[in-house]
Amino acid sequence: MKSPLIPRKSPIVQKTAPGTYAWCACGRSASQPFCDGAHGDSGFAPMLIEIPQERQVAWCACKQTKTPPFCDGTHRSLP
């Protein structure tokens, strides 16, 4: 798998509690935006991210962001 799947062309915005999260980088996870182990032999691995305090997060769901795991608006330019 050379490029990630695009499960959604908009961010997943949610209040996020403090903790460590495994963001899905391959796009295969059924529990977007988080990894569920579906990456298998895709060549991708989840990105671990620490959220130190509760805040609103816009998780990238198109997997094309230049600022992973956060949305940077790249989804707007996808075909």
The three-class DSSP label of residue 76 is: helix
Domain that holds residue 48: 12-77
Residue 33 lies in a domain: yes
Q: State the pLDDT at residue 68.
A: 98
- Decide if 14 contacts 21 (C-beta within 8 A): no
Residue 7 placed within a domain = no
Would 4 be classed as within a structural domain? no
Q: Is residue 70 part of a domain?
A: yes
pLDDT of the residue at 66:
98
Q: Supply the DSSP symbol for 78.
A: -
Digitized pLDDT (tens) for each residue of the chain, 79 residues in all: 689 999 999 999 999 999 999 999 999 999 999 999 999 999 999 999 999 999 999 999 999 999 999 999 999 999 9
pLDDT of res. 16: 98
Sole residue written with tokens 């991708």: 44
Q: Is residue 29 one of the residues assigned to a domain? A: yes
For residue 17, what are the CA distances in angstroms to 8, 20, 23, 40, 58? Answer: 23, 9, 14, 27, 13
Asked whether residue 3 is assigned to any structural domain, the reply reads no
Total domain count for the chain?
A: 1
Please report the pLDDT score of residue 26 as a whole number. Answer: 98
Per-residue pLDDT, 73: 98
